[in-house]
Amino acid sequence: MTLTIGTMAYNAFPEMKEAMATVLETAGPYRLIFLDNGSDEPLDRFLFEELRPHWEGRCQGEPTYIRNEENAGVVFGWQQIIGCCQTDILALIHNDVQILDPGWDTGVLQLFASDPNLGLVSFFGCPGVMANGLRGGIHPGAVAGWSNMSDAEQHGMRIIEPRPIAVPDSFAMVLRRRMLDKGGGLDLRFAPDHGYDRALGLQSLALGFHNMVAPVACTHLSRRSRSVPQYGPWLSRNAGTDDDWQVLRDKDALLLKIWGPCLPLYVNEDFTFANTDRFSGEPTGRDVLGYDWRSP
C-alpha cells in the first residue's frame, strides 16, 4: 500500500515551509504532488531546492510539480492532484498544517489495510451532520469534532483512539482511490473552496465506505497563514462586498439541497446510522447508503 502526499500553494510564505517540513519529515516512503495554484512567481525552486532537504530520501523519485497560471480554487486544485495520483492512498494536506507525530503515515495506512471499506481518514472529524448541514454530533446544537490537534479542547474533544465519523475537515484528509474513483472524485459543484469536505464525507458513506478520524497530533496554522500578505490577493479577492459571505451561504444551501433528505445523520461506533436527540430538526428517515447525490 503506497501513499501519495498532495498539497497546493498560492505564493510561498515562511509558515508554509515551516509546516510542510513537518509533514514531509514525519512520513515515508511516499510520492509527492505539489500544485502551484497560480502563484505570482513559479514555486518550482521552492519545491526542488528549499524543500529538498525535507523530502529527499523519503520521497520515491522526484516530486510531481504542477503549475497553474491562475488560481483555480481549492476544489479544482485538489481534483487536479487526484487526477495525477497513481497510488491507492492519497493524503490531501493543507500547506499550513504541522504534523507532530513521527510515522503518522504508518498508523493511517494500517487503518486502511485493516478495513477494505474504509474510504476516508481525517485528522479532525465529526460523528454527525445536523439538519442544517453543519458538523456536529458531540454536544447538542454545537459544531464540534474529535481530533488530537494542539487546540482540540477549543473546538471539541481530544481523542487517543480512531473513531468513526460522518464528515471530515478538509485541512487533512487521507483518501482511498477506490472510493474517489467510484464517486468520480470531488463534487465540483462545491468549487471553488467551501463545503466540499462535508460533501465528500457524505459521498463516501453513500458509496458504502466508512470514514474515521485518526488521533494524529497536529496543528493547523490557519489563523497565522491567513494573515500573511502573500495570500492577501486570494483571500480578499471580493473584499468590500458581500460576495464571499454569499458564496458560503450558497454552498451551504447547495449541501442541503443535495443531502438534506439524509439529514440529520449520526454515525455510531459500529458504522451504522442513527437519528438521535443530539440533533436539531426532525429526522428524515432517509438512509444515506445508496443515496443518489448525482441527480440534479
CA distance 108 to 3: 10
Q: Which CATH number fits domain 3-274: 3.40.1030.10, 3.40.50.720, 3.90.550.10, 2.30.110.10?
A: 3.90.550.10
Residues recorded for the chain = 296
CA distance 178 to 118: 10
Query: Among 192, 1, 199, 20, which residue's Cα sits nearest to residue 110?
Result: 1
Summarised one tens digit per residue, pLDDT across range 48-67 is 999 999 999 999 999 999 99
Summarised one tens digit per residue, pLDDT across range 250-264 is 899 999 999 998 888
CA-to-CA separations, 7 to 148, 247, 285, in angstroms, rounded: 21, 24, 38
Summarised one tens digit per residue, pLDDT across range 6-17 is 999 999 888 899
Which stretch, 138-147, 150-159, 195-204, has highest mean pLDDT?
Answer: 195-204
The pLDDT score that the predictor gives to residue 155 is 84
Domain parsing of the chain, residue ranges: 3-274
CA-to-CA separations, 259 to 40, 93, 129, 234, in angstroms, rounded: 38, 25, 10, 29
